[in-house]
Amino acid sequence: MELNTDFGTSGLLAADLVAVVHAWQCGAMSQDSMLDLFRKSEVLPEGRSNVEEAALIAAKPPLVPVAPKAGPGIAGGQESLPVGPARGGGDRGGLRN
């Protein structure tokens, strides 16, 4: 029997995970790079290939509707930042559409 001396933290913080997904959605990194980063961060299992991961995703679509990728512009194709109740308040924050 051996004592486990691996006391390092693994995984990604929630904010880091969101940032990586956002970078992928904006086209700043490829899906393969994102999946490799998730694998190195132990978010995804080591032995699963990117092709296998894509097949698993395709076999069981997300429960939450995902907006299609949009063309160039702010935040993946939006013409302006969301304001009002969608951002958690009725204040427009000085932004105009």
Beta-ladder partners of 74: 78
Q: What is the pTM of this model?
A: 0.55
Give the pLDDT confidence score for residue 87 in this predicted structure: 44
pLDDT per position as a tens digit, 44-62: 998 999 999 999 988 987 7
